[in-house]
Amino acid sequence: MTVTMMPAVAEERRAPRIVGVEFPFGHAFGMPGDRVMQRRVLELALRLLAGAAAFGTRVDLDVEWPAPLREAYRAWQPREPSPIVTKMLEARRAATD
């Protein structure tokens, strides 16, 4: 049973049961401190785990992230680019110099 911000990828990778959430990365179960939202996600995941009737069952949670997209983006972006992103940016710069 997978709770994911990328349900289409989970389908491609043939995850057997999928709950899709439109949340920022790092926030699979919702907003910090929001027990109601977290419970909605976990309960849906558990009910799908136990009740899905077929392979590939996917349910997308009908909950909108309660903050503007720009804030949501900031909520998951690391403070500095990851090492692989830094390496790719350096390679791109070198190719264009």
Partner 1 sequence: MWAPFAKRLAGSKIALLSSAGLYLESRQPAFDLDRERAEPEWGDPSWRAIPAVTEGSLGVAHLHINDADLLADPEIALPARLLSQLVSEGLVGAAAENHVAVMGYQDRRLVDWRQTTAPAIVSFLRDQQVDGLVLAPA
**What is the nearest approach in angstroms of partner 1 to the Cβ of residue 60?**
15
What is the C-alpha to C-alpha distance for residues 63 and 25, in angstroms, rounded to an integer?
Answer: 15
Q: Which residues bind partner 1 (CB under 8 A)?
A: 1-6, 16, 25-33, 35, 38-39, 42-43, 45-47, 49-52, 54-56, 74-79, 82-84, 86-87
What is the C-alpha to C-alpha distance for residues 72 and 65, in angstroms, rounded to an integer?
Answer: 8
**What is the nearest approach in angstroms of partner 1 to the Cβ of residue 39?**
6
HSE-up (13 A, CA, CB side) for residue 80? 3
CA angle 56, 57, 59 (to 5 degrees): 135
55/96 with CB nearer partner 1: 55
Residue 40 is encoded by which pair of tokens?
């909605």
8/46 with CB nearer partner 1: 46
32/68 with CB nearer partner 1: 32
